[in-house]
Amino acid sequence: MSEMTDNQIQGGTSQQGFSGEVDSDLLIDDLSYQEAKTYVMQFLTAEKKTERLLQEKQQAFNKWNERLAYAEQRGTPEQVERVKQELHALIRERDQLIAERDALHRKNIILKEKLQLKAKEVEASAGARAERLLTDFEQLVNVDEYKLQEATKNQEAEDELAKLKAKLNHP
């Protein structure tokens, strides 16, 4: 994954909202099926990584919450303040990860639908190619059959001509 893609996936880009802005992350129509599949997999992976980071942040939050309880019982006011600052930072980071995860999840729903449509288009175009090949084959068979019929007619005409020549030579 390129750095630009990483940043787009991790940080997200604009959402399509009421302003009518188009989210460039969702523009996969011009990609081949394989490219689109790889692209969607990157977004799915980014969502999973974000979910894992969110779980880690929640564990850290729980640990610092316990430290706050301990600091409030036995610590100094400075210790309590430091723990609270750490908790506030963790809350901001957790909220940011939740927003990123939710944005990635919404994008993944749309991207998976678009990928399924692309897969159907690929199947349809493969079916159309097969139909064209079958039609071409039938035309070739028809041409070959025509040639065979012409060759048979020519052979019959030559046979008739040979019979007539034989009759004329042997009275």
- 100 in a domain, yes or no? yes
Domain range holding 103? 3-12+25-128
- 157 in a domain, yes or no? no
Highest mean pLDDT among 1-5, 14-18, 66-70: 66-70
| Whether this model's pTM surpasses 0.75 | no
- 135 in a domain, yes or no? no
Highest mean pLDDT among 6-10, 14-18, 78-82: 78-82
Give Cα 99 to chain centroid, integer Å: 23
pLDDT in tens, 105-120: 999 999 999 999 988 8
- 83 in a domain, yes or no? yes
**Cβ–Cβ < 8 Å for 36, 115:** yes
- 145 in a domain, yes or no? no
Count Cβ atoms below 10 Å from residue 40 Cβ, excluding itself: 21
Q: How many domains does the chain have?
A: 1
Both structure tokens of 68:
């706050």
- 170 in a domain, yes or no? no
- 37 in a domain, yes or no? yes
Closest CA to 8 of 53, 52, 43, 48: 43
- 150 in a domain, yes or no? no
Confidence of residue 166 (pLDDT cuts 50, 70, 90): confident
